[in-house]
Amino acid sequence: AAGLLAARLGLTTGDTKVSATFAERILDELGTIESDLLPLAAGNLADALHYGATEEVLDSLRKMSLVSPDPNPTTPSSPRATRLPMARTASNLPGSPTREATYTSWLKNLLTGNPGHPPSSFDDRLSRARRSAELFRLDPDRAWRDWRLLLDEGLNQGPEGPATWETIPSNPHSQIQDYGESLTAELLLALAHGLLGLAPDAPLGRLRIAPRIPSHLVSFEVTGVQIGDGEVSVAYQRERKQINFTLKPERVGIPPLIIFEPLIRGTVQKVLVDGNTAELNLKRVSTQTVVPIQLPLDSTRTMTIVTG
């Protein structure tokens, strides 16, 4: 889990020091680390160290990332390596005719901003949070409703009072965290990678943003999205059939390449980038349209989308 966190830090900030340390540890201790997250961590470390490791190290990490985790995990009887609270691999339901995807494989897709159908959980709230992440890609209105309901439940009266979503153990250090689950983490994952579709790749200087905005929202803004040594803000405004997105570099760094892919309800009649008409290869997805735009964020950029 710590290796995956280090890799995600490297992909977001571009700082490879911690990633390099954990990559060395994983390769040195190969065969002794028991974690379903190991292949995912190895793949992310390879991406984070794209320019920060030798070809031999990168090749070893990529080979490790191809190893499939146990499709039928069982809860361990003894403590194992600490694991991310939100990264639990769900067991298959008894008697199920088809094998359910592991949480690790689902998390891999979620972290790229493309969540698929999630594995189930014995906790209904966790299943609902995971499902909302997937629904942002399919039905943003329903996803927002489900996500906000879970958020409001904790804000109003959570397990430990207002603004809590978990039961806090009396002695956290005595808990076995490898198979722990966290509703707070699931809600944050759904927001960052479901609603916003974020996928940072600081080593290559690019950031994917694929917002899926619910139809009832007329304005929405996110600030402090980090990529490399800079930060980005994303603002959304809608007035009738016209949608405006504004991307702004909040903190100056090396201008990243923005892979911007908003999901728009209905058909798209016209797209303007910085006031100029843009000819794009629009992608139709059921009743929605993906508008793919790539541009360097060297200054404030505006995108206007006119729907039919």
Parse the chain into domains and list their residue ranges: 1-69, 107-195, 199-307
pLDDT over 50 at 42, yes or no: yes
Of 3.10.129.10, 3.40.50.720, 3.90.850.10, 2.60.40.1180, the CATH number of 199-307 is 2.60.40.1180
pLDDT at residue 91, as a whole number:
39
Per-residue pLDDT tens digits for 202-252: 999 999 999 999 999 999 999 999 999 999 999 999 999 999 999 999 987
pLDDT at residue 173, as a whole number:
59
User: 57, 26 in Cβ contact below 8 A?
Assistant: no
pLDDT band, very low/low/confident/very high, at 32 (cuts 50, 70, 90): confident
Integer Rg of the chain from CA: 20
User: 133, 86 in Cβ contact below 8 A?
Assistant: no
Tokens of 92: 């298959």
Q: Rounded to whole angstroms, how far apart are CA atoms 172 and 285?
A: 45
pLDDT at residue 76, as a whole number:
38
pLDDT over 60 at 84, yes or no: no
User: 128, 150 in Cβ contact below 8 A?
Assistant: yes
Pairing of strands 242-251, 199-201: unpaired
Q: What angle do CA 131, 218, 162 make, to 5 degrees?
A: 55
pLDDT over 60 at 96, yes or no: no
Threshold 0.95, pTM exceeds: no
pLDDT at residue 129, as a whole number:
94
pLDDT band, very low/low/confident/very high, at 193 (cuts 50, 70, 90): very high
Pairing of strands 288-290, 263-265: antiparallel
User: 33, 25 in Cβ contact below 8 A?
Assistant: no
User: 231, 225 in Cβ contact below 8 A?
Assistant: yes
Per-residue pLDDT tens digits for 161-190: 888 888 876 665 555 444 457 899 999 999
Average pLDDT, the chain: 86
Phi, psi of 163 (to 5 degrees): 65, 40
